[in-house]
Amino acid sequence: MRRRQLGRTLRALRESLGLKQEEMADRSGGALNGAKISRIETAKTAASARDVGLMLDVLGVTDDVLRSSLLKLTREGARRGWWQSYRSVLSPEYEDLISLESEAEQVSTWQPVMVPGLLQTNEYARQIIAATAMGEAVEERVDALVDVRLARQSVLTRHAPLSLWAVIGEAALRTRTADARIMSEQLARLLSAGKWANVTIQVLPLSTPPHVGQTGAYSILGYGAHASLDVVHIESLTQALYVEGHASVAAYQAAMGTLRAQALSPADSADLITEIRDQI
């Protein structure tokens, strides 16, 4: 995923100058060749920081923030993350999500029937994972996946914490867990997290008429000033899909704006969460 983000950005920079790959290679004085540039832009090979730095020089990129961001993306591609010790239970797509999430500046998520993973309590996460993990859903595997889900939440409390905007369907708040206490504690967790400066929680009521969110859950991982790196994550029962094209990402961002407009305000959402918790 990092390679694709990097390659897509480098290609866009080259095309904005009207350069072909061979022309760019010529301008490098032989340090690069068209085949290598193609492999980097199409994510078929890992780029070295030296090659990326050279490409940025040839392209005349002087923006220090952009250069730093792309070089970091290059170096991070080879870095081992804490999640790699769980590779035996993680799919490559899930590793991608954790990796991208660890460096995103903001995440906007729409979850119609489940509390977002970044806001789940230990016991609620266990219930959800045990119910949805297909195949070898043995206790040991569930334990590991719960550990991973909780470890992911550190992005909300790190230095320069990730900004999370969650729109949650009311149906998710009315889930019946094996023990009512589990859901009560999960709702209390939402009320607590909703008071954090970097977390915004809205609830989309069951009474909302047909809306764009009925096509399914998704999350948008944003990278601040470098919107070209933004990506949409869509998870299904057996696999995950990443949407990267600018026009497609923009469509999901527009849909998220619509959902936010239709959802209750954060204050009214907190009132509804409290009301549902009190009914348990």
* pLDDT for 134: 65
* pLDDT for 164: 98
* Structural domains of the chain ordered from first start: 2-76 (1.10.260.40), 89-279 (3.30.870)
pLDDT tens, position by position, 10-34: 998 999 999 999 999 999 988 889 9
Q: How many CB atoms lie within 10 A of CB 198?
A: 15
Q: Distance (Å, rounded) from C-alpha 187 to C-alpha 177? A: 12
* pLDDT for 75: 78
* pLDDT for 136: 55
* pLDDT for 238: 80
Q: Distance (Å, rounded) from C-alpha 216 to C-alpha 232? A: 13
Residue numbers of the chain with a pLDDT score lower than 70: 1, 76-80, 134-139
Distances in whole angstroms, Cα of residue 43 to Cα of each of 4, 8, 35, 52, 132: 5, 8, 12, 13, 32
pTM: 0.80
- For residue 87, give the amino acid letter: R
